[in-house]
Amino acid sequence: MSKLFEPVRLGALQLQNAVVMAPLTRSRATTDGVPQSIARDYYEQRASAGLLIAEGTQPSAGGQGYARTPGIHNAQQAAGWRAINDAAHGKGAKTVLQIMHVGRIAHPLNRTIADAPVAPSAVRPAGQMWTDQKQMQDFPTPRALETAEVKALVDEFVAASTLAIEAGFDGVEIHAANGYLHHQFLSSNSNQRTDEYGGSVQNRVRFTAETVAAVAAAIGADRTGIRISPGHMFNDIADANPTETHVALLDAIPTQDLAYVHLMLPDSFAPQLNNAGDVDALRKTIRAHTKGNLIAAGGFTKDKAEAALASGELQAVVFGRPFIANPDLVARFKNNWPLAEANPDLFYTPGAEGYSDYPAYKA
């Protein structure tokens, strides 16, 4: 009997099945970060999943880095999310908002404020990012945060999480993966601080542990999740010992009380983007240090998902790219229908095309 289609409980979140939609940045909000009606359509179409983890969303104007990403720091944004949550709940899905501060992964042209992007240290990431005005542009060098500003960012996550719950989300996911602000604090190459937030591994995990504790205290640990991607080198992250860092992080947070820990596998996109070594060994280590629910993403198929649920390694399984072109992914898995392929050229373009116009399967 497949556990994939059975109800499962993650903390306060009672899910209709164990299929989770991954957070997917799709850049369809207004330039002010307000989610639009096409986003409501898109999420509602995918709400046969047990849980929708809504795309990375900035907790403040300063947390934005990419063009047209949504926010959760004012009433218009909350109203946009409210419509999405009502639609998704109407189809049975639970919803969680991924709160994402990009840190140094930002270009001024994509932001609504003039302030320079901030990071643990003034270390410019290698690489470029898209801007609507000038296409691909180098990342600028970020400004290093003052110690007091780090503490203020924890408060910013609390305010955004509280607003997310007011906007109808069932929980929030703190984005500590994929090279964004929290991952920049965790990683030895991007964090060169000499205060209590840098240097030793205990200091590098402090900002993330404080964020989790403060958000959990505000909205409930059982509505709080965290996403990690140990060893994932996306966005110029190269931690000297990612497994050690993430073990210290998991040991510093109340994993037994959280809704879930969400692992994104470091080889999700390419083997050369992984510096954590053997991925099976990493999975075992993360499982051992997660005392509550563990969910994971990265190249899962129906078969791999069922195996991970059956062994007890995972309590739910997260699918990213498969959800883009298969709004009815759950039904396709159930019936063994073929999966459609998404068009990557339309991942981040404005409008409904390549977003809310992928049809359900017709048998």
Ligand X SMILES: Cc1cc2nc3c(=O)[nH]c(=O)nc-3n(C[C@H](O)[C@H](O)[C@H](O)COP(=O)(O)O)c2cc1C
Report the interface residues with ligand X, using CB under 6 A: 22-25, 55-56, 98, 175, 177-178, 227, 264, 268, 297-300, 319-322, 347
- The residue among 2 and 25 lying less far from ligand X, judged by its C-beta, is 25
In the complex, least distance from residue 195 CB atom to ligand X, rounded to whole angstroms? 27
- Reported for 133-142, long-range contacts at CB under 8 A and 24+ positions apart, including other chains, are 133/109, 134/109, 137/107, 137/109, 139/104, 139/105, 139/106, 139/107, 140/106, 140/107, 140/108, 140/116, 142/103, 142/104, 142/106, 142/116, 142/117, 142/118
In the complex, least distance from residue 322 CB atom to ligand X, rounded to whole angstroms? 6
Q: How far apart are CA 43 and CA 245, in angstroms?
A: 34
Helices (H) and strands (E) in the chain, counts: 11, 14
Q: Point out the residue whose Cβ comes nearest to ligand X.
A: 320
What is the full DSSP assignment across 145-183? PPHHHHHHHHHHHHHHHHHHHHTT-SEEEEEE-TTSHHH
- The residue among 207 and 234 lying less far from ligand X, judged by its C-beta, is 234
Instruction: Catalytic residue, from 42, 66, 180, 358: name it.
Output: 180
In the complex, least distance from residue 34 CB atom to ligand X, rounded to whole angstroms? 17
In the complex, least distance from residue 187 CB atom to ligand X, rounded to whole angstroms? 16
In the complex, least distance from residue 333 CB atom to ligand X, rounded to whole angstroms? 13
Structure-token pair, residue 262: 């969400």
Among 117, 110, 199, which residue's Cα sits nearest to residue 153?
117
- The residue among 206 and 227 lying less far from ligand X, judged by its C-beta, is 227
- The residue among 55 and 222 lying less far from ligand X, judged by its C-beta, is 55
Helix pair 206-219, 147-166: axis angle to 10 deg:
30
- The residue among 139 and 180 lying less far from ligand X, judged by its C-beta, is 180
Active site residue 358: no
Q: Which helix (H) or strand (E) holds 9?
A: strand 8-10
The set of catalytic residues is 180
